[in-house]
């Protein structure tokens, strides 16, 4: 019966908690009973009837697989096994979603793992199916906003950002009207609630993050020289400025507890919400850094070198103070933006100084566009999932800002404008060659490699689960493999398109 099944689910949740509290770090013990959970969760008569206990059991199985994967393969040298193990967990989640498309928790974990593996397209489709609306843009928007920019899908990201911006804009006039209605109707008991609600939204942390991501996405929209310079010249960089006091006054309404956890959130080693983050959750330093980046581009467009030098120092100081709250790619982005600014500042200096600045910027961008390894293996696949697309996206974004410097120097009739244009053209030519090689590698190798290395994962203790999924739910495994490949292919195609448009 469903009552007995729910009792079993509760027992499994208690077992999970006790294992974590006992500091059980053995991957074998975490996955020992997963196949039994899956037999009930996705391969039983009850599962076909879509009983709630089956979705709960499938989620438990996936959580155990994710937990075991990070316990077994957290070392950098084992990241290929980590990716393969997370792929198996993703297959379990998708099998559960196929049986119960209304399961919020299964979709949330699937979104997290897809993004962890750099597969934006399917993650976004699942996010859209959650029908995030109104206030949920503030509490749950962090799950998706900003992810597309880091994975070569900035247009899709802009759509999510605009939905959030539209909600915040509507709230500005809607809440005061609600307050007016409170006075007219005499329902004063609701007054304080509306005031608090209004204050939380006006000073919302996610509002600031969504706004910065939207502006970063718009920066990637390629336009004419006149349009780009006009965009940055007219940008309102004063009203979005922050101090330590204004950052401290922001309300963090993000609901990180929405991911079902079976352990106390303070237990980092067992906190699946933290473990499955593709990038650190944006904090005050992130907001400050992305505010300063926008200000730097504005001062380049209006040729205010004094303010530009001040902002570059502020950017580097903020990045240094941010510590581990910034990802590797965000640190590369900060370094690239500072180099873009210094290129502009020193563009009129002596030839050697200009050459040094240009060489630094070129190295940063080409490092992100490293040529694919001809020796295909497990690391090639894990590189694509964990690093390659994010590296290329970061390098492409930095080049976009460098192109703005070229436009600014042309517009301001700088003597160094021609040298900068020539250097960036040569850089673009090299980048296109490497992007072409990456696209060829993606199309010719990645799909088969997923089947060979991930879908047939035979590393203990995960091999029995992989075998179970292939024998019982092969169409689901194939579908997940296709989603991963399609996500990477779309990201690479978008990024190639950006480089091609920079003629």
In sequence order, what are the residues at sequence separation of 6 or more whose Cβ sits closer than 8 angstroms to the Cβ of residue 363? Answer: none
Q: Contact at 8 Å (CB) between 368 and 391?
A: yes
Burial of residue 130 (CB within 10 Å: 0-12, 13-18, 19+) is middle
Residue 209's Cα: distance from chain center in Å?
Answer: 13
Give me the pLDDT at residue 484, please.
97
In sequence order, what are the residues at sequence separation of 6 or more whose Cβ sits closer than 8 angstroms to the Cβ of residue 481? Answer: 87, 447, 450, 451, 454, 455
Cα–Cα distance between 119 and 488 in angstroms, integer? 6
Give me the pLDDT at residue 186, please.
67
CA geometry: angle 192, 198, 204, nearest 5 deg: 130
In sequence order, what are the residues at sequence separation of 6 or more whose Cβ sits closer than 8 angstroms to the Cβ of residue 351? Answer: none
Per DSSP, 370 falls in state P
Residue 353: count of CB within 10 angstroms of its CB:
14
Residue 128 has phi, psi (to 5 degrees) of -65, -35
b vs e for 337-351, b when ≥16 Cβ sit within 10 Å of the residue's Cβ?
bbbbbbbbbbbeeee
Give me the pLDDT at residue 222, please.
86
Residue 407 has phi, psi (to 5 degrees) of -60, -45
Q: Contact at 8 Å (CB) between 366 and 332?
A: no
In sequence order, what are the residues at sequence separation of 6 or more whose Cβ sits closer than 8 angstroms to the Cβ of residue 124? Answer: 144, 148, 153, 156, 160
CA-to-CA separations, 266 to 108, 233, 367, in angstroms, rounded: 20, 45, 37
Number of helical H runs and strand E runs in the chain:
26, 0
Q: Contact at 8 Å (CB) between 117 and 385?
A: yes
Angle between helical axes of 474-501 and 79-99 (0-180°, round to 10) = 110
Give me the pLDDT at residue 196, please.
76
Burial of residue 352 (CB within 10 Å: 0-12, 13-18, 19+) is exposed
In sequence order, what are the residues at sequence separation of 6 or more whose Cβ sits closer than 8 angstroms to the Cβ of residue 41? Answer: 47, 54, 55, 56, 57, 58, 60, 61, 96
Full pLDDT tens readout for the chain, 503 residues: 788 999 999 999 999 999 999 999 999 999 999 999 999 999 999 988 889 999 999 999 999 999 999 999 999 999 999 999 999 999 999 999 999 999 999 999 999 999 999 999 999 999 999 998 888 999 999 999 999 999 999 999 999 999 999 988 887 776 667 667 766 776 666 667 767 777 888 889 999 999 999 999 999 988 899 999 999 999 888 888 888 889 999 999 999 999 989 999 899 999 999 999 999 999 999 999 999 999 999 999 999 999 999 999 999 999 999 988 999 999 999 999 999 999 999 887 777 788 889 999 999 999 999 877 666 677 889 999 999 999 999 999 999 999 999 999 999 988 888 989 999 999 999 999 999 999 999 999 999 999 999 998 888 899 999 999 999 999 999 999 999 999 999 999 999 999 998 86
pTM for the model: 0.94
Alpha helices in 42-103 (DSSP H): 45-48, 52-72, 79-99
| Tokens coding 62 | 């996936």
| Tokens coding 113 | 């793992």
Residue 415: count of CB within 10 angstroms of its CB:
9
Kindly report the three-state secondary structure assignment for every residue of 161-183. HHHHHHHHHHHHHHHHHHHHHHH
Rg (alpha carbons) of the chain, rounded to whole number: 25
Handedness of CA 408, 409, 413, 418 (dihedral sign): negative
Q: Nearest to residue 271, comparing CAs of 9, 67, 31, 34? A: 67
| C-alpha torsion 145→151→154→155, nearest 10 | -100
Residue 36: count of CB within 10 angstroms of its CB:
12
Cα–Cα distance between 484 and 137 in angstroms, integer? 26
SS3 251: strand
Handedness of CA 161, 382, 444, 474 (dihedral sign): negative
Most distant CA pair in the chain, distance: 82
Cα–Cα distance between 163 and 160 in angstroms, integer? 5
Give me the pLDDT at residue 172, please.
74
Give me the pLDDT at residue 341, please.
95
b vs e for 308-327, b when ≥16 Cβ sit within 10 Å of the residue's Cβ?
beebbebbbebbeebeeebb
Residue located via tokens 């503030």: 138
Give me the pLDDT at residue 202, please.
85
Give me the pLDDT at residue 456, please.
85
């Amino acid at each position: 019966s469903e009552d007995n099944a729910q009792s079993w689910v509760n027992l499994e949740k208690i077992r999970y908690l006790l294992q974590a509290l006992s500091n059980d770090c053995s991957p074998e013990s975490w996955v020992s009973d997963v196949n039994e959970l899956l037999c009930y969760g996705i391969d039983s008569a009850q599962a076909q009837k879509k009983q709630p206990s089956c979705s709960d059991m499938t989620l438990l199985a996936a959580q155990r697989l994710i937990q075991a994967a990070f316990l077994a393969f957290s070392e950098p040298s084992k990241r290929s096994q980590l990716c393969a193990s997370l792929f198996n967990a993703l297959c379990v989640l998708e099998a559960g979603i196929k049986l119960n498309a209304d399961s919020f928790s299964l979709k949330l974990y699937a979104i997290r793992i897809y993004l962890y593996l750099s597969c934006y397209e399917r993650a976004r489709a699942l996010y859209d199916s959650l029908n995030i609306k109104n206030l949920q843009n503030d509490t749950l928007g962090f799950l998706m906003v900003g992810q597309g920019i880091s994975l070569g899908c900035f247009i899709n990201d802009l759509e999510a950002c605009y939905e959030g911006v539209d909600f915040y804009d509507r709230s500005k006039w809607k809440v005061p009207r609600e307050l007016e209605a409170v006075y007219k109707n005499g329902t004063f008991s609701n007054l304080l609630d509306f005031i608090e609600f209004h204050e939380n939204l006006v000073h919302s942390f996610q509002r600031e993050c969504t706004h910065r991501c939207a502006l970063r996405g718009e920066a990637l929209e390629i336009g004419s020289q006149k349009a780009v310079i006009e965009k940055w010249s007219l940008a309102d960089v004063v009203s979005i400025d922050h101090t330590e006091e204004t950052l401290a006054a922001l309300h963090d309404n993000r609901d990180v507890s929405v991911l079902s956890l079976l352990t106390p959130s303070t237990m980092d080693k067992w906190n699946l919400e933290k473990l499955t983050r593709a990038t650190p959750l944006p904090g005050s330093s992130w907001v400050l850094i992305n505010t300063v980046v926008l200000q730097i581009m504005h001062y380049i467009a209006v040729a205010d070198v004094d303010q530009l030098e001040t902002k570059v120092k502020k950017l580097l100081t903020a990045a240094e103070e941010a510590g581990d709250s910034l990802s590797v790619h965000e640190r590369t982005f900060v370094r690239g933006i500072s180099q873009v600014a210094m290129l502009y500042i020193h563009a009129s200096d002596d030839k050697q100084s200009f050459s040094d600045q240009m060489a630094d910027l070129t190295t940063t961008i080409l490092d992100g566009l490293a040529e694919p390894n001809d020796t295909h293996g497990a690391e090639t696949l894990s590189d694509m999932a964990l690093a390659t697309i994010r590296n290329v996206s970061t390098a492409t974004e930095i080049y976009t800002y460098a192109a703005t410097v070229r436009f600014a120097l042309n517009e301001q009739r700088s003597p160094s404008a021609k040298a900068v244009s020539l250097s960036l053209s040569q850089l673009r030519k090299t980048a296109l060659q490497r992007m072409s090689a990456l696209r060829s590698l993606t199309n010719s190798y990645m799909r088969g490699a997923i089947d060979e290395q991930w879908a047939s994962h035979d590393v203990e203790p995960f091999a029995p689960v992989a075998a179970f999924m292939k024998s019982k739910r092969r169409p689901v495994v194939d579908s997940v493999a296709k989603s991963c490949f399609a996500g990477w292919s779309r990201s690479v195609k978008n990024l190639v398109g950006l480089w091609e448009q920079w003629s």
